[in-house]
Amino acid sequence: MSNATLPVLITGGAGFIGSNLADRLVRSGRRVVILDNLSRSGSERNLEWLQNQHGSAIEFHQADIRNRTSIRRALVGVGQVFHFAAQVAVTTSLTNATEDFDINAGGTLNLLEEIRESRLRPGLLFTSTNKVYGQLDDLEMRAAGSRYESPDPITRYQGISEQRRLDFHSPYGCSKGAADQYVLDYARTFGLRAAVFRMSCIYGPRQFGNEDQGWVAHFLIRAIENNTVTIYGDGLQVRDILYIDDLVDAFLLAEERMGKIVGQAFNIGGGPKNTISLRELLALIESISGLRVSVRNEAWRAADQRYYVSDTRKFEARTGWRRNFDVNAGVRRLYEWLASTRETKVAAAGQRMLI
């Protein structure tokens, strides 16, 4: 039996990204094992949705990535692992750096060791973060209307490549960066079929965002519920944002073409054609929804990058990956999904909210 026909393990599989990947995999005929401690808000709703949609095709283990025995049990018979279980917020890491390390670095090492010692030694795709590149303070930036932009045409038109030196910043950046490097080294030292995605901002349905993580969904939720959005800094910060369906496509290509990407890290995001600033997102939300968004400004937060855009050409060249959703289409889809799940009555996109 080939690995492609074996069950897939998704750690953190009840989260936003994990639940979307699980749904796609089951719909394609695969069985999915989920390991999740359900600590993140919205994860129980996502798990219930998956179980209602797919029944016994979803095998659930309520467990923590810090527990090696639980990992060992979940790995039995698995042919591929997608590792998403993590502490995901810079702000949380600043208040509890030890727990952040134990989950992100320690938990990943637990998983690597269990894969290394397993009979099938499944492939592994780990989601790292653009925070491994630090605050990027050396990049020259200028204010240009509603956003920052780089005067350097290479940075402006290509983004940040994997050639950028690593510069872990914040406990979160350090813990994810350490895990990132462990995954790459286990591929090199122990021959694991493993690769790393250094992710930019992902958004889409089944995301229950907050101020610390999932900011596109968070802004939309605040607008829909007629609450004030807090902007840290000046709002000119730019990110490339990637719609979840395009990310799932990338995951499936990574599994299929692991031989071409094993032992490598790839920057994954919307790329230079899918960038948006905080101010521009607020304007887009108002345009899509007809709502007026109330904004409050606060001081800059530690380790916040003024500009980050992924250069994704390396992964595209290895796998043929292409994105199908631009910013406008993706944000509109997320708005409509969030509006449909809110208790507040919201009209279709383009019409005014009923308060």
**φ, ψ of residue 32 in degrees (nearest 5):** -125, 130
pLDDT, position 344: 42
Whether 133 sits among the annotated catalytic residues: the reply is: no
Domain-located, residue 9: yes
Domain-located, residue 346: no
Q: Is 123 exposed, middle or buried (0-12, 13-18, 19+ CB in 10 A)?
A: buried
Range of the structural domain that residue 333 is part of = 3-341
Q: In sequence order, which residues have a C-beta less than 8 Å from that of residue 355 and are 6 or more positions away?
A: 226, 344
Question: 3-state class of 230 per DSSP?
Answer: strand
**Per-residue pLDDT tens digits for 124-179:** 999 999 999 999 999 999 999 999 999 999 999 999 999 999 999 999 999 999 99
Check which CATH number belongs to the domain holding 12 and give it: 3.40.50.720
User: How far is it, in rounded angstroms, from Cα 88 to Cα 103?
Assistant: 10
Q: Is 252 exposed, middle or buried (0-12, 13-18, 19+ CB in 10 A)?
A: middle
**Cα–chain center distance at 173:** 14
Q: In sequence order, which residues have a C-beta less than 8 Å from that of residue 96 and are 6 or more positions away?
A: none
- Mean of pLDDT values over 26-48: 96
- Terminal Cα distance for the chain, rounded: 56
pLDDT at 314 over 70: yes
Domain-located, residue 351: no
Residue 54 token pair: 């797919």
Determine which one of 133, 148, 172, 335 is catalytic: 172
- Mean of pLDDT values over 115-126: 97
pLDDT, position 209: 78
- Total domains in the chain come to 1
What mean pLDDT is reported for the chain?
93
pLDDT, position 2: 55
pLDDT, position 139: 94
Q: Write the DSSP assignment of 246-300 as a string of letters.
A: HHHHHHHHHHHTHHHHTT-EEEESS-TTSEEEHHHHHHHHHHHH-PPPPEEEEPP
- Mean of pLDDT values over 63-85: 98
Q: How confident is the model at residue 39 (pLDDT cuts 50, 70, 90)?
A: very high
- Mean of pLDDT values over 322-343: 93
- Mean of pLDDT values over 222-251: 96
- Mean of pLDDT values over 312-324: 98
pLDDT, position 1: 46
User: How far is it, in rounded angstroms, from Cα 65 to Cα 83?
Assistant: 10
pLDDT at 304 over 80: yes
Domain-located, residue 348: no
**Per-residue pLDDT tens digits for 173-211:** 999 999 999 999 999 999 999 999 999 999 999 998 776
Q: How confident is the model at residue 301 (pLDDT cuts 50, 70, 90)?
A: confident
